[in-house]
Amino acid sequence: MRLAILFSLPVVALAACTALTPAAAPAPAPIAAVSTPEPPIVDAGAAPVADATVGVGEVPPPAPDARAAVAPPEPTPTSACNDQAPQDFLVRKNFLREPGGNQRAIEYRNLTYGYYNPAGTKAGQATPNASIVTTTFMSLPVRMHKKVVPALKCAEEEIKRSCTDHPYTARGLAGVRFKNTYRGGEVTNHIYGTAIDIDPARNTCCGCVPPWNNAPRCHAKAKSEYDRMEMPECWVHAFERFGFYWLGHDVLQDTMHFEFLGDPDRIERVVTPPAGNADAGK
């Protein structure tokens, strides 16, 4: 009887152990695979994309070009006249080497400033003398064609503005001339009142007739034609800005002489009033 009870104890213990062991949890369901998009391939030389909201596969907006600078405002003009160069066909050294060049230059000046004809003017043709006016340059009186007076005034203002480091005081001027002093069919611009001589006694004409070509500066060594005169070089550049030609550049080396060879219709700068000010002054 005791043996039977002892034999049954392991069985009861085994059953108890089995009851205390938790049931095996069911295997978890497999997690669905999530596809991660491949990052776009970025060219090492391309500009970085600044907008982080650009989606995959979308074309990013172009990056701003750091080199593109805002255009600076136009500089304020320093003169009431337009900058312009002499017209090539009116420059003496040009028209003398071109067949018919001298006659072309004369015809242009006749039509623009008045007819000059040493044999007499035809009826109805206005002469340059009809348009000659008295003006001033550096406080000195001079008689010039009225069409070129604005350019002369602008040259004077430019000299006063840019030549302060080279003081020079003009003492004598010569403008219109009523007798042609050129030979060989040429006509001087003095006839038309479009040329001005500044201080003939101080600024030489080494290629002219005596006494001009006897001046000491004509026979002294010189680095350039600017050394043939007392007038500062900056005066030349001031005149050249507004369509005047300095005859010091010519074979004549006429350093006293400036002649307007620009377009007289382009001398004065046209000022356009700002938008919205059309009724200003009414």
Instruction: Render pLDDT for 215-239 as a digit per residue (tens, 0 to 9).
Output: 999 999 999 999 999 999 999 999 9
Residue 144's Cβ-count burial label (10 Å; 0-12, 13-18, 19+) is buried
Q: Is residue 43 a part of any domain in this protein? A: no
Which of 104-108, 169-173, 220-224 shows the lowest per-residue confidence on average (mean pLDDT)? 220-224
Regarding pTM above 0.85, the answer is no
Q: Is residue 256 a part of any domain in this protein? A: yes
The pair phi, psi for residue 196, each rounded to 5°, is -140, 135
For residues 149 and 135, give the distance between their C-alpha atoms in angstroms, rounded to a whole number: 7
Q: Is residue 150 a part of any domain in this protein? A: yes
Give the model confidence (pLDDT) of 59-72 as tens digits. 566 665 655 566 66
The whole-number pLDDT of residue 201 equals: 92
The whole-number pLDDT of residue 44 equals: 46
Q: Is residue 69 a part of any domain in this protein? A: no
Position of tokens 């382009």? 266
For residues 250 and 228, give the distance between their C-alpha atoms in angstroms, rounded to a whole number: 13
pLDDT band at 13 (very low <50, low <70, confident <90, very high): very low
**Number of domains, the chain:** 1
Its domain, for residue 97, covers: 88-266
